[in-house]
Structures are given as structure tokens and as C-alpha cells.
Amino acid sequence: MNEAHLYKKIKELAQSLGFVAAGAAEAGPVEEEFIRYKEAMESGCFAEMEYLKRNCHVRKDPRELLEGARSILVFLAPYGDCAMAPERDIEFRGGVVERYKVAQYALGEDYHKVIKEKLTVILNYMKSQIPTARGRVFTDTAPLLERFWGARAGLGFIGKNNFLISREAGIRNFIGIIVTDVEFAAESCSAYGKKFCGECRRCIDSCPAGALSPYRLDAAKCISYLTIEKKGSNIELNRSMAKERDGWIFGCDACMNACPWNSRNREGWNEFKPQRETIPAALLRRR
């Protein structure tokens, strides 16, 4: 099977697995986007997230992840079709139940595991057709500029809120990636690099903490960072701070909720829908 036919079959398989979009880009060094990444890092935008400051040589050139890599395959997995995740009941120790806001992505199963399993199905199919093919699957698990590669593969554009936004499938999508040594023709992407937010600044104006500016996020102010990533953060501390954080106790979707591109969202996978009405605090601690 030649690469063009295989690529067509891969996209069909991805669709059957529930991905709403798939694309390919040539593996190679990232220049302009990496400069912006480095500027954000040097200006302190990453706060205490030291892992974002490591392995920059890999972020600049994903071929470091797989010797002989020639293609980056990118897939979008939808996780929510609504424009706003409602407040959720959270069960604390002693059976106390209180109502807070929780980021929508955290309401379902672990997206890392769910998506990697489906990407592995695709990679195994690829290897069945080309036995010498090699590849690695990633979803938010490697030093990759995933949103950049999504845009490069023709799946969307980077919005002022820094999310990858698909004009066909909206804003609420996880990104899955396969780095492979099989050479697939890169998608023709006439929209790459273009900005489709126009004069809209709803995401910026909606940020409760003032952490967002066009195409730049100051993590040290971001509620999502403060409730998940910041050292010392825990559910009890977040509970005590929830009022001044606009009710958010785990993550924050304010800028995403405000985005007009929510109108294009596709229905999320069943695995990403709330697993129960009352979310145990222990579950949030494990994330």
C-alpha cells in the first residue's frame, strides 16, 4: 500500500474511532513559534512549571523524539459540545457536598489514557500495512508544541486565548499526535498562520484573574494553574480560595466558555462525559 492510500485509510480509521479531524505535517524544526515560546518562558509566563522549561531542543525539533521521523500526524478528540461546564457537586471528606466549578476536561476519564489507546490502534494499523514503519504516540505527554502542530497540519488556528481552534469542530478538543518515520504528504494549509479572532476579545475580558492578553498567558495569575499546577495546591486549599477565584476549584474554563467558536463544537466522546453527578475529591487529587 502506498503512502497516499495509507493516509486516506488512516483518516477513515480515525473518523471511525471518533476523532473529528486528522491531518499531517512534515516533521522538522520549529522556528518562529519556538521563538515565541522562548520569549514567553524568559518573561516568566510559565511560573513554576519547570517541565515547560526543559527539553527545549525537542520542542524546537520533534525529530528528537524518533530517529528518522518524517511526519507528524495530528488528531482532534472532542470532549464537550456545550459552551459552558455547569457547576458540579463535589463530595469532601465526611460526606460534605458543596457546589463548585470544575474544568470540563476533568469531568470524564483520563484523556491521556483514552486517546493514547486509540492512537495506538492507528499506529498498529499503519505498521500492519508497512511492517518497517516506526512511530510513537503522544497526547500532552511529550515536549511537543501540540497546538502549533495542529495548526501546521491544517486542523485549525491559534486563538487569542492560546487554544487551537478548529473552524469545523470548535474549541473543545484534545490533541493527539503520532510521530512517524513514514513520509505522508503534508496537508495543504492556506489558512496556516492566519488569525480568525478578528477584533473579538471576549476571552481576554472574561478572565477573572486578568491572566490573559492576546496570544499570551501569564500562568502565575491563571486560576487553572493556581488550582492544578502550582506547588502546594490541593483541593482543600482551592476550596478555601474558591470565592475569590470566581467559584473555580479545579481548573478554569472562563476564557474558553466566552469563545464564539463554541458554536462549532462537536459532541464529546462518552469517555469524556461526567462519570457521576457527585465528584469525589479523591478523584480530583489524582489528576
Amino acid at 194: K
190-208: b or e for each residue (b if 16 or more CB lie within 10 Å)? eeeeeeebeeeeebbebbb
Amino acid identity for residue 12 in this structure: E
CA dihedral 268→224→158→177, nearest 10 degrees, is: -60
Active-site residue, selected from the candidate residues 61, 81, 89, 140: 140
246 carries an active-site annotation: no
CA distances from 40 to 14, 28, 140, 184 (A): 34, 22, 19, 32
- Based on the number of CB atoms within 10 Å of its own CB, is 31 exposed (0-12), middle (13-18) or buried (19 or more)? exposed
Residues 6+ apart with CB under 8 A from 141: 112, 116
Residues assigned a catalytic role: 140
